[in-house]
Structure 1
Amino acid sequence: MAYFQDVSSRVAFWEARRACEMDGGALLSIESLDEQRDIEHLLQEMRTGSVGGSSISDGDFWIGLRRVDTPTHTNPEPISNTLSSCPDLYQWTDNSPATFRNWYFDEPSCGGEACVVMYHQPTALPGLGGAYLYQWNDDRCNMKHNFICKYEPESHLVKEHGDRPEGGATGMLLVYIIIPTIPLLLLILVASGTCCFQMLSRSSPRTKTAVTQSALWISNTPKVDSMEV
Structure 2
Amino acid sequence: MQPGAALQAVLLAALLAGPRARRGEGQPVCREGTQRPCYKVIYFHDASRRLNFEEANAACRTDGGQLLSIESQDEQRLIEKFIENLLASDGDFWIGLRRREERQSNSTACQDLYAWTDGSTSAFRNWYVDEPSCGSEVCVVMYHQPSAPAGVGGLYMFQWNDDRCNMKNNFICKYSDGNESFPKLHGEGTEPATPILPGDAGKEDARETFKGNNEAALNLAYILIPSIILLLVVITVVCWVWIYRKRQVKSSLCRPLYLLDSLRFGHCSVCFNYHGRFDSKFSDGLRAFRSTKNLCLVVIKKVILGSPGGTVV
Bin the TM-score by the shorter chain.
Answer: 0.5 to 0.7
CA distance change for structure 1 residues 153 and 109 in 2, over 3 Å: closer, same or farther?
same
Name the amino acid aligned to 1:81.
Q
Give, in angstroms, the shift of residue 141 of structure 1: 0.5
Distance 1:67 1:162 in 2: 38
After superposition, residues 81-100 of structure 1 pair within 5 angstroms as 81=104, 84-100=108-124
Which residues in structure 2 correspond to 1:192-207 (within 5 Å)? none
Residue 38 of structure 1 aligns to a residue whose secondary structure is helix
RMSD over aligned CA atoms reads 3.0
The 8 Å contact of residues 150 and 174 in structure 1, kept in 2 or not, is answered as: no
Higher relative contact order (CA 8 A, sep 6+): 1
Match status 1:114 vs 2:154 = no
State whether structure 2 residue 31 is matched by structure 1 residue 10: no
**Structure 1 alignment gaps of length 5 or more:** 48-55, 70-78, 189-229
Deviation, 1:130, is: 5.7
* Residue 163 of structure 1, CA deviation: 5.2
Q: Distance in 1 between matches of 2:85 and 2:48?
A: 24
1:41 is displaced (CA, Å) by: 1.3
Structure 2 unmatched runs, 5+: 1-40, 210-313
Say if 2:128 and 2:153, in contact at 8 Å, map to a contact too.
no
Aligned counterparts of 1:21 and 1:6: Cα–Cα separation in 2: 23
> Percent sequence identity over matched residues?
53
The amino acid across from 1:93 in the alignment is T
Instruction: Please say which structure displays the higher CA radius of gyration.
Output: 2
Q: TM-score scaled by structure 1?
A: 0.62
Specify whether residues 138 and 23 from structure 1 end up closer, same or farther in structure 2 by C-alpha distance, changes over 3 A only: same
Count how many residue pairs are aligned between Structure 1 and Structure 2: 163
More strand by share: 2
Q: Distance in 2 between matches of 1:163 and 1:140?
A: 40
1:22-101 correspondence runs (5 A): 22-47=62-87, 56-69=88-101, 79-81=102-104, 84-101=108-125
Deviating above 6 A after TM superposition, structure 1's stretches of 4 or more consecutive aligned residues are none
Q: In structure 1, how many angstroms separate the alpha carbons of the residues matched to 2:57 and 2:156?
A: 24
Task: Determine the C-alpha separation between the residues in 2 that align with 1:145 and 1:46.
Answer: 15
Preserved contact between residue 64 and residue 175 of structure 2 (Cα < 8 Å) = yes
TM-score by length of 2: 0.47
